Structure 1
């Protein structure tokens, strides 16, 4: 019996666990999945939770039913890769033969005051706390720091849900700078329609209890500050001696195995996955394919086969602009924008189709199937 432990039950960890469990039943694989929460969190939709929308509550044990996977609800306190043991927060230890590290990332809180005074999307509870705060405000200002996809989705979602509040988006560069000019212009018109105040070249140097301070000393009053400007891996991998990059993500080879500890696979946001065009940035679009690949590679190892190299190319940048609007920027495999894009109701339909709940995908995986859309995403 080969003991396979998967750490983290997000999009990538769930995909990896179900994939390897279904493919290794006849070759002696025993899979254990560890996660601090008993519920599966749709992290891509936390901006909807912050806006007061109640999403479906999915029990991890219910999702895993029928797979033979053992679920352990606990936190990861430390790793000993030399002894192949995991120390859990409750004091228990788990031994493994193969490990899938899918603990994801957390918000980078290196800017003073972020950890103490800013709301963050590190978990479902953080989005709920922001929603509770916004519901309590009769008026006031919400500051969203970060002009990437998460920042834009959050600003538009909150502006639409709480029209009584002033929403300010702060970004060092141009909002949506990764998109093509036409798609980006549509985003700017949508934010203008929703009354969002956009401040470009805004370098936040400190978050205060009721304001944010910009370089130069300007203070912007804030009744609630949401921080979306960057992420980094958890410290456990670095502290355990894994080779990590500058953001504490485990550096992996072309099969997604740790370059320093090849009995460990790292997937999703927690992995520094290099492609010819650079290191993949963490999204569901890339995350689930890494989880599927790691699960397949592990099953191949148990059968005595040589795992194939991971292949991936980007296809699109889906961006919601509230519940009734969206824009989809189609991209080349290296994530640079193509000419084509969708907007309006067609973009809403498209985004809901490709970025909807992954639960149906997990059900297909339990039956040994993979959605056609995921084959396309891994064919770059």
Structure 2
């Protein structure tokens, strides 16, 4: 007999309510009872954290309205232990949750800096995750801010803060700024940074201790949050993400699916997918649907994905749309200026729209 949504014999447990986890929960809930474990009562638009640092009032959306119509149960706690033999997850509140299928979507965090909400050991180092505290620091008075990391997050953070605050901003990166961009796209980024008064320093890697700045934003790279998976014996790849097959199923534990930045997702067209909201949403959709289908006797389908473009905001009035090939390699086609800034904003808004549509 096919399992119905209200049949508690088929339970899907989703860990994490980021882009991938929330989408997985909403899609799985079409066909199975779902419990979502996340300590926050809000979904956070992670791609807007640089805007929060520069003064945006909120980047959160309440989870309850998104989950209500699908009947998803929210457990406001943090998953601390995973027992794949007993198929249970233990939370920091001591609650033990059972599952028949698990979607692991605990995301990622900034790599390379030991930072808490107070600004690190010396009170001056922040990351995207501590954007709200960085904003408080920026209100203390004018000073010098160094952003470390020349990828998309670092570029957007330096541009936003330089345009919207009176701080002196420097962007420091190992190697070239915008390493995933074409020469044409990189040239536009450099031009806009200069126009905004951002000092760009490209060269060797640095540590926070190397930097003479009043505040440091560490945006070097991302690290998948897979400690519970490691402790449970789930196989990880060389990049530290859960090794999955084309259906997003763990190759070592077939009852576990993975989504978001913690998943080593791949497709024949795109190859290994990078950590990004642009990949988390489609991966979450497929992981949630497959987890439910695996319970109900439905068809478990492979992930289909190919890249189309990279989009960057360069402050509020400029941006970059970089056309890419299906494997994410850049082409010479770029769109810049106000049109690109508007395109970036629409892309960011579309992520929340996609979640709201799934919630219906």
Give 1:39's match in structure 2, choosing from 23, 39, 42: 42
Give 1:131's match in structure 2, choosing from 107, 116, 135: 135
Give the match for residue 212 of structure 2: 221
Give 2:79's match in structure 1, choosing from 76, 79, 83: 76
Give 1:3's match in structure 2, choosing from 3, 8, 11: 11
Give the match for residue 102 of structure 2: 99
Structure 1 residue 239: Cα displacement: 1.5
Cα distance in structure 2, aligned partners of 1:327 and 1:148: 13
List aligned pairs for 1:88-167, cutoff 5 A: 88-109=91-112, 116-117=121-122, 118-122=125-129, 126-137=130-141, 139-162=142-165, 164-167=166-169
Contact 2:148/2:217 (<8 A) preserved: yes
Cα distance in structure 1, aligned partners of 2:114 and 2:60: 33
Q: CA RMSD in A?
A: 1.8
Give 1:333's match in structure 2, choosing from 322, 326, 330: 326
Q: Identify the range of structure 1 (300-309 vs 184-193) with the bigger mean alpha-carbon deviation.
A: 300-309
Note the alpha carbon deviations across 1:285-340, whole angstroms, 9 max, x for none: 11100000112212322331341111211111100001111110010011011221
Q: 5+ unaligned residues in a row in structure 2: which ranges?
A: 1-8
Contact 1:238/1:248 (<8 A) preserved: no
1:7–1:336 CA distance, 2 compared to 1 (3 A): same
Note the alpha carbon deviations across 1:120-171, whole angstroms, 9 max, x for none: 123xxx110000001112x221010100000000000010111x21111111
Contact 1:3/1:98 (<8 A) preserved: yes
Structure 1 residue 247: Cα displacement: 4.0
Q: Secondary structure at the match of 2:181?
A: coil
Q: Identify the range of structure 1 (248-257 vs 298-307) with the bigger mean alpha-carbon deviation.
A: 298-307
Cα distance in structure 1, aligned partners of 2:349 and 2:69: 23
List aligned pairs for 1:157-236, cutoff 5 A: 157-162=160-165, 164-204=166-206, 206-208=207-209, 213=210, 220-234=211-225, 235-236=227-228
Q: 5+ unaligned residues in a row in structure 1: which ranges?
A: 214-219, 368-380
List aligned pairs for 1:265-280, cutoff 5 A: 265-276=257-268, 278-280=271-273
Note the alpha carbon deviations across 1:163-197, whole angstroms, 9 max, x for none: x2111111111111211111111111100000101
Give the match for residue 20 of structure 2: 12
Cα distance in structure 2, aligned partners of 1:183 and 1:247: 27
Runs of 4+ residues over 4 Å off in structure 1: 110-115
Structure 1 residue 366: Cα displacement: 2.7
Structure 1 residue 110: Cα displacement: 6.0
Structure 1 residue 363: Cα displacement: 2.3
